[in-house]
Amino acid sequence: MKFNQSNIKKAKKYLDKNYCIGVPTETVYGLAANAYSNYAVKKIYKLKKRPISNPLIVHYSNISDLKKDCLINDNFLRLYKKFSPGPITYILNLTKNSKISKIVSNKKNNLAVRFPKHKIFRKLLNKLNYPIAAPSANISTRLSAVQASDIKEDFGNKIKYILDGGKCSIGLESTIIDLRNKPRVLRLGGLEVSKIEKALGIKIKININPKKKIAPGQSRLHYSPGVPLRMNVVKPKKYEAYVLLNKRKNNHPNFFYLSKRSNLKEVAKNLYSTLRKIKNKGYKAIAVEKILNTGIGRSINDRLKRASKF
């Protein structure tokens, strides 16, 4: 992993000057900027070509910083103690005195917040005196970036700096849970919902495809590899790249493997990079083998389903 103190210093310098930079998290890379600065946050929307109506997640290093901007509650405390830092994002109400830029959450009085686990990003957050607004570091509707080279591919030299933290260990975006009233999940992701249910001792409503969209990430147009994709494929067509769960004996050039032994965590970690690789090799279509819909497999299938609506 290419990382040292001077890289963190450099990243801080750019952020202090209100530039956007790429940052590693355990889920996917983020396109980061000072969440207290309208000027910096506007740059995120512009670079990503993201509609201003689609709010951003704000990243904090600890709960005492969060309390300056958000109202917390019992459910939050329980989940925070158990799962943060980690791949879970909470929707909370803003405090009256919050300094968060109004364009982070489209002038609404709530905010999506996360405590990332990636060591390098945490080191950086600890040095800043503002939280970091960061959506996934990709052009809107496309696949999230899971390594520094993915960001370069999408943005070229439009981004001043990328803090390289190696390949993301989880590879899927965080699970989003709205905690303002009765808890409900708005996006499946890196943390399994069953674990959240266990921690809160209740069954949680999953609201990922509502008629009225709350989070634009719920849109079917998200997470597209840029070429048509089919799921649950037993027999691929000749021209399709065939994405498989594990290595096979007959090693056909159109076959791509997500894991050595069908380990779903490994599958998640390799999913986006494999789809990118296939697209870059020039394939015009992708077929994916059936993936078990349990545990993290649910989140993987959620992304594939959206990708298949391209």
Between 30 and 297, CB nearer to ligand TXA: 30
Measured in whole angstroms, the distance separating CA 53 from the mean position of its chain's CA atoms is 18
| Helical H segments across 17-52, by residue range | 38-48
Q: By C-alpha distance, which of 134, 105, 307 is closest to 226?
A: 307
Q: Report angle CA 308, 116, 217 to the nearest 5 degrees.
A: 30
Q: How far is the CB of 92 from ligand TXA (least distance, A)?
A: 9
Establish if 134 lies at the interface with ligand TXA (CB under 6 A). yes
Residue-wise DSSP of 286-310: EEE-----STHHHHHHHHHHHHTT-
Strand order in the sheet with 229-230: 229-230, 286-288, 241-244, 255-257
Among ligand TXA, Mg ion, none, partner that 40 touches (CB below 5 to 8 angstroms by kind):
none
Residues 170-197 as b or e (16 or more Cβ within 10 Å = b): bbbbbbbbbbbeebbbbbbbbbbbeebe
**Residue 93 in 3-state DSSP?**
strand
Please report whether residue 55 would count as binding ligand TXA according to CB under 6 A: yes
**Contacting ligand TXA (CB under 6 A), which of 22, 85, 86, 135?**
135
Q: Which is nearer to ligand TXA, 185 or 215 (CB)?
A: 215
Output 127 or 213, the one with its CB closest to ligand TXA: 213
Residues 60-99 that bind ligand TXA (CB under 6 A): 89, 91
- Which residues neighbour 153 within 8 Å (Cβ) at sequence distance 6 or greater? 276, 280
Only segment of 21-29, 149-157, 225-233, 300-308 that touches ligand TXA (CB under 6 A):
21-29
Residue 271 has which token pair?
Answer: 């999913």
Minimum distance between the CB of residue 112 and ligand TXA, rounded to whole angstroms? 3
Work out how close the CB of 279 gets to ligand TXA at its nearest, in angstroms, rounded to a whole number: 19
If you ran DSSP here, which 8-state letter would residue 158 be given? G
How big is the chain, counted in residues? 310
Given 7, 35, 83, 114, the residue binding ligand TXA (CB under 6 A): 114
Q: Is 299 in the site for Mg ion (CB under 5 A)?
A: no
What residues does 261 pair with on adjacent strands?
246
Q: Which does 227 bind (CB under 5 to 8 A by kind): Mg ion, ligand TXA, none?
A: none
Would you say 50 or 241 has its CB closer to ligand TXA? 50
The CB-nearest residue to Mg ion is 136
Classified as helix, coil or strand, 221 is coil
Q: Nearest residue to ligand TXA, using CB?
A: 217
Tell me which residues in 185-224 interact with ligand TXA (CB under 6 A). Answer: 186, 214-217
Residues 136-165 as x/- pattern, contact with Mg ion by CB under 5 A: x-----------------------------
Give the binding site for Mg ion (CB under 5 A). Answer: 136
Residues that bind ligand TXA (CB under 6 A): 25, 27-28, 30, 54-57, 89, 91, 105, 110-112, 114, 134-136, 173-174, 176, 186, 214-217
